[in-house]
Amino acid sequence: MSGPASCDCTPSFADGSQDLELFVEGDELYATMLSAIATAKRYIGLESYIFADDEIGQRFAEALAERANAGVSVRLHIDAAGSLFWTSRRLERYLREHKVHVRWFHRWSWRKPLRYNRRNHRKLLVVDGIQAFIGGFNIHRQNSRSVFGERRWRDSHLRLGGNLAAQAAELFQDFWSKRRYRRKNHTAEGTSVLLPNDSRYCRRSLRCAYNDMFAGASKSIYLTTPYFVPDRGTQRALVLAAKRHVDVRLLVPRKGDVRLVRWASRAAYSNLLGSGVRIYEYLPRVLHAKTAVVDGEYGTIGTANLDYRSFFVNHELNVFTRDPVLCSTLQAQFLNDLNQAEEIQIAQWRRRPWTNQLFEMVGWMARRWL
């Protein structure tokens, strides 16, 4: 991949290996996260869009409570809208009684109703600044094979060590303290760097970084996202890449948890398909992973979807990486997922019923609010 960065807020990288581990199964991820929590000596910071009062949430609540009772500083930041129908007062009361500091992000307020639209969509765990976890997995049973069975959601998450874990701790502290991220230049100390979409210097850092990736692609762009409602600039970047004969492939879910989002997503298909972008719908399960890999050598994984909310409204956090092992693994996982997906053929797409097109128009009109 080549090409200069198009925005000062996009990442730059250095040489050197970093401590990274990819997870695509919830049971393995949750076990590793719980083990990390159990080792905490000084502090634990956890942000989750969904923290459910179910078998998984209760395991985490007990683990957090045990460490808090042992004198570890434990802070839990839950999104008020994301967890509205998932958590319970009983679970919150249990956590507070066991010395866990619980904070709700943007609860509904009649005095400030507009702020309810902006959500904390980040999923971040930090333990002593030594270990950190970031990705698409929420704390709920839908991601566990042992609990939810073969219908479990397909997702991706990353464990971080070393300087990346220290950066994650800095990001958590800034957000907890209600400070905007202070770094201006996102220069990695190795092959990877964490990038939030909101800093003192740019409110669209993730959009800049994604579109910079697309503009520099020379061979391939492989995208996985559960919610694909791209702004026109992002669509244009993908179209231009396809017209440069870059192999652009997009993987989205056939089964989704928000029907209106699926309609809005499909409204963007015609323009992309007509330009040579190949679109696949994942069939077996709900797809919730958010990853991209370009030319097999530049990748990202995190909490951001390719939609208006992630790029312009919500708080998000992604890892951008040139780590060769991780990029290779992300690409292999993408190609493996394609084996369980169906490609949308443009000729068939153009013959879809007019009722579908009507629903797509309705979804597209609501795209900024999804």
First-to-final CA distance of the chain: 33
Contact between 228 and 305 under an 8 Å Cβ cutoff? The reply is: yes
Active site (annotated) includes residue 112 = no
Neighbours of 41 (CB within 10 A): 12
Active site (annotated) includes residue 157 = no
Set 27, 128, 174, 247: catalytic member = 128
- Give the closest residue to 139 by CA, choosing from 203, 99, 82: 82
Residue 157 structure tokens: 């998450």
Residue 101 structure tokens: 């500091």
Set 290, 307, 315, 337: catalytic member = 290
Contact between 87 and 54 under an 8 Å Cβ cutoff? The reply is: no
Please state, in angstroms and rounded to a whole number, the distance separating the CA atoms of residues 58 and 314: 27
Active site (annotated) includes residue 106 = no
Set 53, 212, 295, 323: catalytic member = 295
Please state, in angstroms and rounded to a whole number, the distance separating the CA atoms of residues 265 and 229: 5
Please list the helix, strand and coil fractions of the chain in percent, rounded to the nearest 5, in that order: 40, 25, 35
HEC string of 33-73?
A: HHHHHHCCCCEEEEEECCECCCHHHHHHHHHHHHHHHCCCE
Set 53, 79, 123, 198: catalytic member = 123
Active site (annotated) includes residue 178 = no
Cα angle for residues 70, 75, 76 (degrees, 5° grid): 120
Cα angle for residues 68, 144, 127 (degrees, 5° grid): 30
Active site (annotated) includes residue 121 = yes
Active site (annotated) includes residue 128 = yes
Set 77, 186, 288, 315: catalytic member = 288
240 secondary structure, DSSP code: H
- Give the closest residue to 229 by CA, choosing from 262, 263, 265: 265
User: What are the strands, taking DSSP E only, across the chain?
Assistant: 20-23, 43-48, 73-79, 101-105, 124-127, 131-135, 157-161, 192-196, 220-224, 228-229, 247-253, 278-282, 291-294, 298-302, 306-307, 317-321, 341-343
Active site residues: 121, 123, 128, 288, 290, 295
